[in-house]
Structure 1
Amino acid sequence: MPAFRPRTISLAAALSLACAGHALAQKQYDPGASDNEIKIGNIMPYSGPASAYGIAGIIEAAYFRMINDQGGINGRKISFISYDDAYNPSKAVEQARKLVESDEVLVVFNPLGTPSNAAIQKYLNIKKVPQLFVAAGATYFGNHKAFPWTMAWQPPYESEGRIYAKYLLNEKPDAKIAVLYQNDDLGKDVLKGLKDGLGDKASAMLVAAESYEVTEPTIDSHVINLKASGADTFISVTTPKSAVQSIRKVAELGWKPLYIQGYASASISSVLKPAGQEISQGILSAYYAKDGSDPQWDNDPGMQRFYAFLAKYAPDARRNDISVVYGYGAAQTMVQVLKQAGDDLTRANVMKQAASLKDFAPDTMLPGVKLNTSATDFYPIEQLQMMRFKGDKWELFGPVISGEINR
């Protein structure tokens, strides 16, 4: 029996080496990933007409710093590279090329703005670089067939329009609706979703719609025209600067419609308070995340983690800015995907994991709102809950409403 011992030891050693070799072989990297680092690229409008959204990028950077302080993701530290595009599509293309060809990031995460994302979408898909968790709600950012390297995060704007339609059909079926919308995919998609949701009642209920360009210094003339239509319901699908102007002009005209503000500009700190807290009373919107300043969430475990994060990593950030809540939730989702990816940090596997989210609920999501994706579903969030601005905060009401769109 002792004569066989060397062979046994040799066999055990061989098996051990084989297992170790297999474990090492499982580590796979594309540009932007290594044993020690994961490079994440980002594009934000830190300047320009949509600069109010730039805080989202600052919060994301802070969140990744917290993750690094906790040891990183599977032992790897995140290197977050974020550039300003000033909400300019041509600048976004320049920054995307820099991130991919110079910085060699693994993914371009949460680039913000419909025009900018549309401008870089084809390039990133040709390069097979994930354009992951896009910070814009245009429907084609979830078109998995045409753009398999692009995935949405927030609810598509068509879903938002459908949800407003469901609400109005139930609560005000005789509404005469006027819509002010930004002349890009933000505005056009919400309007399409609204029309689709109203169905055969759309022609009777939708009495006026006017578009505006983001470069227009004021939208006052559009609001005047929409009031003249005789509408008793006003939907403002605007970015922050124009949203503020819209609220003020409606008040100045003495118009008293049922006022719905698109969720892209439902921020208390960057829209409602600058417009005027008193004249913003009663405005409706819909959202999928908790209001960071609402005391009803003080004992919520997820929001307690959010508050602790702000206190340590972003003490100057305002809790009532939806872009602050947004940045935290998006970053938390990105971290979840990278955790699922394990040691296979190829771009293809990152996309595979992003398309494998099952009932994932970031700390900041409203109860009942969960992120689900699949190989044929690139819209993680398709639910909203209606809310009304009262006092100094949003008050949620009614059920969580689904606005799923046909794929």
Structure 2
Amino acid sequence: MKNSLKPNKRVVGTIAVLGVLALTVTGCTRTATDGGAGAGTGADETAAPSPGITDTTLSLGISSPLSGPTAGPGSCSVAGLDSYLEAQNAAGGFEFGDGKTREVTLTYLDDTYDPAKTVSNFKQLVGDGIFAYVGALGTPTNAAIMPIANSEEVPQVLLVTGATAFSEDQKANPWTFGLLPTYYDEANTFGKLLADAGKPITVAVLSQNDDFGKDYVAGLTDAIEGSDVTIVDSATYEPTDTTLDSQVTQLAASKADVLMSAVSVTPLQVGVLTKAQSIGWLPRIFLPSNTSTPGTILEPGGATAYPAVYSTSLTKVPASPTFAEDEDVKAYNAAFAEYGSKIAAVYTPHCAWSYAEGAILGEAFKGMEEPTRDSFMTALKSIKDFQAPLLLDGITVDTTRDDQPAISGLTLVQASGPGYAPAKAY
């Protein structure tokens, strides 16, 4: 791998990895009867390779916030995937369904979580001839790319975002596919915990002013319908905001028992926790899984001041003593120390999520019978009951559903000491 820093602060990393990522981002060369995403070729036809793949190599691309306030999650979204791919590459590479073993390269560009930069980066990657665009972080950034990717028939898959927009209508957007449980499901899980308490509870909601926030509000609202739980106030924010003090002050006036802080930007989430404390408001807190890391959120936010802090989880925590002897965790820690640590200095759950993503791609490559995007998409959408490394027991990968992301299982957890434990009843 080699990195270079250009004057415009765009970071480009080229990562040699074996056939784990059979995806491409330039136009697909197909036979006359090739019918689009998931379509195969006739028995007597020979499929022409898509751009970005040869008999021995495959090229992938990703745009992610490697600098700015979302750099922690953005860097982890690259680092975890790189760790898996590089480790597999060093072990001999990935076998594809066409009988070949390929080396895969991953090029990553910095977009600072700016949709305009993401579009520019995507076009650059397409122009450079990648096979597919994989594992990108962010709701607004991926939303900006989705119409382009589907128009140009470029796989935009296993996205590190829980927005329902990327998975709920895959027939309309056949080249786009999410990785993570939806924000709707995450908030719905929170809401069920509150509803099951069987007593009056008031809730204040802080959410992003986009699909991320709308999904959260909808999931919570549906879960508490008919219960004694009431949303008494709500506020929204923009990812470009530098502080959410005014929103927290507004919500604190409601004296709500619970604050669902669906904030996706790390420093803003820390600011929410510290501001509420400073004005004497100490509700129970619900945090989304993407901004709930102990080291980057709970500790700097002084989370121990609150009666309880809840979140959700789908992967093992590599640093947790509970999983110290787990073989998947051992493999992750070794791979990350050698490869991923060069990209991400601080762990967030995105490191584990994207590591599991690498294994899902590897599983798809095993079913990829032709060197084309169509064959890749068909194989990717045929995975069922796959236990990807680091996923918690009982959580598996199922890509066969047209309205759900690759992973949909969640575990509700509660902050305990330096980490999280299974959540107790409210």
TM-score range, shorter chain: 0.7 to 0.9
Q: Is the CA contact 2:84–2:332 (under 8 Å) kept in the aligned structure 1?
A: no
Percent sequence identity over matched residues?
29
Q: Does 1:55 align with 2:55?
A: no
Structure 1 residues 320 and 117: alpha-carbon distance in aligned structure 2, compared to 1, 3 A threshold:
closer
- Matched with 1:116 is 141
2:108 aligned with 1:72:
no
- What residue in structure 2 maps to residue 256 of structure 1? 282
Q: Which of the pair has the greater relative contact order for Cα pairs under 8 Å at 6+ separation? A: 2
1:149 and 2:156 equivalent?
A: no
Q: Give the alignment's TM-score, normalised by structure 2.
A: 0.82
Q: Which amino acid in structure 2 is aligned with residue 360 of structure 1?
A: F
Distance in 1 of aligned mates of 2:56 and 2:391? 31
Determine the C-alpha separation between the residues in 2 that align with 1:69 and 1:128.
31
Residue 377 of structure 1: how far off its partner (Å) = 4.2
Query: CA offsets, 1:25-60, max 9 Å, x none?
Result: 877521111101111111111122311212221232
Between the aligned partners of 1:235 and 1:385, the Cα distance in structure 2 is 17
Q: Does 1:222 align with 2:247?
A: yes
In structure 2, the CA distance between the partners of 1:172 and 1:46, relative to structure 1 (3 Å rule), is farther
Structure 1: distance between partners of 2:300 and 2:129: 40
C-alpha distance in 2 between matches for 1:370 and 1:56: 20
Q: Secondary structure at the match of 1:245?
A: helix
Q: 1:384 aligned to 2:410?
A: yes
Determine the C-alpha separation between the residues in 2 that align with 1:375 and 1:233. 34
Please, what TM-score do these two structures have when normalized by structure 1? 0.86
Which residue of structure 2 aligns with residue 35 of structure 1? 55
Aligned with 1:119: secondary structure? helix
After superposition, the CA RMSD in angstroms is 2.4
- Aligned pairs for 1:4-403 (under 5 A) are 29-53=49-73, 54-74=75-95, 75-100=101-126, 102-142=127-167, 143-171=169-197, 173-201=199-227, 205-239=230-264, 240-276=266-302, 278-279=304-305, 282-314=308-340, 321-341=348-368, 343-374=369-400, 376-397=402-423
Unaligned runs of 5+ in 1: 1-22, 400-407
List alignment gaps of at least 5 residues for structure 2: 1-42, 96-100
Counterparts in 2 of 1:222 and 1:121: CA distance versus 1, 3 Å: same
Distance (whole Å) between structure 2 residues aligned to residue 252 and residue 146 of structure 1: 47
Distance in 2 of aligned mates of 1:280 and 1:337: 44
Tell me which protein shows more helix as a share of its residues: 1
Q: CA deviation at 1:71?
A: 1.9
Give the corresponding residue for 1:404: none
Q: Is the 8 A contact 2:283 2:307 kept in 1?
A: no
CA offsets 1:96-142 (integer angstroms, 9 cap, x no match):
11111x22111100111100000000000011111110111111100
Q: Which has the larger radius of gyration?
A: 1
CA distance in 1: counterparts of 2:91 and 2:170, whole angstroms: 34
